[in-house]
Amino acid sequence: MKNLLLKGAAVALACAALFGCGSSHDKNTESSCATAGDKCVKFTILHTNDNHGRFWVDKDGQGGMAARKAVVDKVREEVKDKGGTVLLLSGGDINTGVPESDLQDAIPDFVGMNLVGYDAMVLGNHEFDNPKSVLDKQADTADFPFLSANIYQKDPDDNTKLERVFTPYKIFTVGSLKIAVIGLTTTDTKTIGNPQFVGDYTFTNPVDETKKVIDEIGDKANVFMAVTHMGYFKNAQHGSNAPGDVTLARGLTDKYANKLAAIIGGHSQNLTCTNDYTPGGACTPDRQNNTYIFQAGDWGKYVGRADFEYYNNTLHMVSYSLIPVNLKVDDKVVGDPVTPDLNTQEILRTYQIKGQDELSDPIAKTTVALQGDRSVVRGQQTNLGKFIAAAQVATQNNRANFGVMNSGGVRASIAAGDVTTRDVRTVQPFENEVYKVTMTGADLKKYLGTVATIQAGSGGYAQFYGIKMTINCTGRSVDNVQVKDVDDNDYSAIADATKYVFTIPSFSASGGDSYPKLTGSDSAFPNAELDSAQGIVDWVALSDFFKSEAAKNNGTVDLAPYAPVASDLVYENSSSNNGCVIP
C-alpha cells in the first residue's frame, strides 16, 4: 500500500505518522477529508474479543449481546449519518467459559453475533476446544467468515505439501476503498489447544504468513489490516507465550514496512491503551512500526471503536475509544447505561433459560473460597487446583497415588457458600476425560522432571495432590519424591522398580500445555500403561467429589486438607518459591 499515512491518538486527537513515501507535495493534495469531498472515504472499525460464552449479561448486569447490539446500532446510525461505513470484527475465542453456552456448543453466541452484525472473526485457540464437527456447526450458523491464514494441514493428495484449512483473509469494499483483513491465530494453539482436535494442524509463523498474504493480495487492496488472536504483550515481552501483536508489527520490515495499518487483536484479554487509562476515559492505543494495535479486554465489557478517513491515497485515524457496555466500577455503571436491544434479548433468552434449574441447584457448601483465578492458579498451588486433582484421584477408588492438574484447565474461582453445577461447569468447561496412568518410579521421576518444571505463569504449570518433592528448575529434575499410598493415609518415597498410579486430564496426557505425550505410538513413555477408556468427564468427577466430601460433614466441604503446604513442593534455582521462574 503506497503513501499510507495513519493519523491517530487518543479520543478526538490526531497525529501524523508517515506510512511509506507520502505525496504531500503534490499540488493536487487535499489537506483534509472536508476539502477532499467525495474523494474521502470514511469508515469505522468496531471490535470485541474473547467472548468466552458471554452471550448473556453477567451476574452484575455487565455486557451481553443484546446491549452490545444496542451499542453497535447506535454507532452505525451515527457513522451512516456522516457518510461512513462500519466494519465489526471479532478477535476470537467465542467458545468456553459459561455453562449455558458450553452446553449448547456456543450456538447462542454465534446467533447473537449474527444479530449484532459481525463482518468477520479470527479463529482463537478456544475454537478448537471441541471436535471439528462442532466448529463446522458453528461456521454453518455464523453469517460471517472465520479467518486464519496461518493454520495448515497436509494436502490429502500430497503429504509433502501443506494447504490452508480456513479462509485466510477477506477484502471489504467500502466506497472506492478496498480493505483487506487478514486472520492470524496464535501458534500456541498447538500446545494449549486440545491435542485431540489440533493434532493434524500446523500453525505457521504469523509474520511470515502476513508477508505471504500481502504478496498474494497485491494491489487488490488499498488498506491492509489484521484481525488476530495472538495477544498483546507490551514491548514484545511475551514470556512463555508465543509472540503476539507487537512482535508481528515489528516484524514487518523492508518492503512490508508501513503496509499493515492496524491489528485488531485478542487472546491476552487486556487493553492496549498506552496512557493511564481509566474506564470511560481516553485510550491512546499502542503503535508499533506505524501499526496501531487494538484490543478490547474481554467478555464483551467494551466495544472498541476506531474512526478512519482515507484520502490522497493516505489513511488517517481520526479517533479511538473504548465504549463500556454497562461496565460497573464500584457498583456504578461507567458512562451512559445501555438499554439492551429487546429483539436480541428475547431471542437469546430462550438459550439462557435452557438447563437453568439443573445448573442452579446447590450440590455442596464451603466456608472458604476456592482459588482458581488465572493470575494466581498459574503461578502457585491453590486449594481449588489441589481439590480438582484430588477429585480425579477419587475416581480411581483408592487405586491412585496422586493427581496432576494443568492450571490452564482451571477457569474460575468458586466463592464461599453454595456450590452449584454452574460453578463446577464454569471451573471446568472443556469436558476433558480423566485418564489413569501407571508408571515405574524411574519413569515417574523423569516425567515429573518435565511436568513440575514447566514455567510458572503458563497454563502448563501443574497443580498437584498427594505428592511431595524437591524440584530443580534449571536441571529439569526432581528429588526426594514421596507419594501417598493408595489408601490415602501416608506418604512414602518412590522406588525406581515399583509401579505407581496417577491421574491426569486427557488434554495433558495427549501432550497439551507441553506435557510429555502419553498417548499413541509416539508416547514419550512407551512403557507407561494408560487407561483412557473409563469415560470419566472432569466436571462430573469434580461435581461428584463435592457431593461426597460434603456428605462427610453435614453438607459442608472441609477444605483444610486441600490448603497448599509450601514445604510439599520445594523449588530450587528459581526466582519464585511457588514455581519454576528461571532468573
* Candidates 47, 54, 267, 425; catalytic one: 267
CA distance 468 to 482: 5
* Candidates 3, 125, 222, 401; catalytic one: 125
For residue 277, how many other CB atoms are within 10 A of its CB? 15
* Candidates 51, 93, 288, 455; catalytic one: 93
C-alpha cell at 74: 447506535
> Is 129 a residue of the active site?
yes
Partners of 180 in the β-ladder: 171, 224
Partners of 322 in the β-ladder: 304
> Is 267 a residue of the active site?
yes
> Is 47 a residue of the active site?
no
* Candidates 164, 374, 422, 476; catalytic one: 374
3-state secondary structure 492-551: EECCCCCEEEEEEEHHHHCCHHHCCCCCCCCCCCCCCEEECCCCCEHHHHHHHHHHHHHH
CB-based contact 77:106 (threshold 8 Å): no
CA distance 4 to 1: 6
The sheet that has 477-484: what strands, in order across it? Answer: 491-493, 477-484, 467-472, 569-572
H or E stretch at 388: helix 383-394
Question: Is the Cα dihedral 378, 383, 388, 392 positive or negative?
Answer: positive
* Candidates 3, 49, 52, 54; catalytic one: 52
* Candidates 194, 269, 401, 406; catalytic one: 269
* Candidates 68, 229, 238, 425; catalytic one: 229
> Is 229 a residue of the active site?
yes
237: phi then psi, degrees, rounded to nearest 5: -85, 85
CA distance 125 to 189: 5
Return the SS3 of 570. Answer: strand
* Candidates 50, 105, 307, 443; catalytic one: 50
* Candidates 47, 54, 411, 425; catalytic one: 411
Contacting residues for 494 by C-beta, under 8 A, at least 6 apart? 441, 444, 445, 481, 482, 483, 500
* Candidates 126, 238, 305, 425; catalytic one: 126
> Is 357 a residue of the active site?
no
> Is 374 a residue of the active site?
yes
> Is 52 a residue of the active site?
yes
Q: State the catalytic residues.
A: 50, 52, 93, 125-126, 129, 229, 267, 269, 374, 378, 411
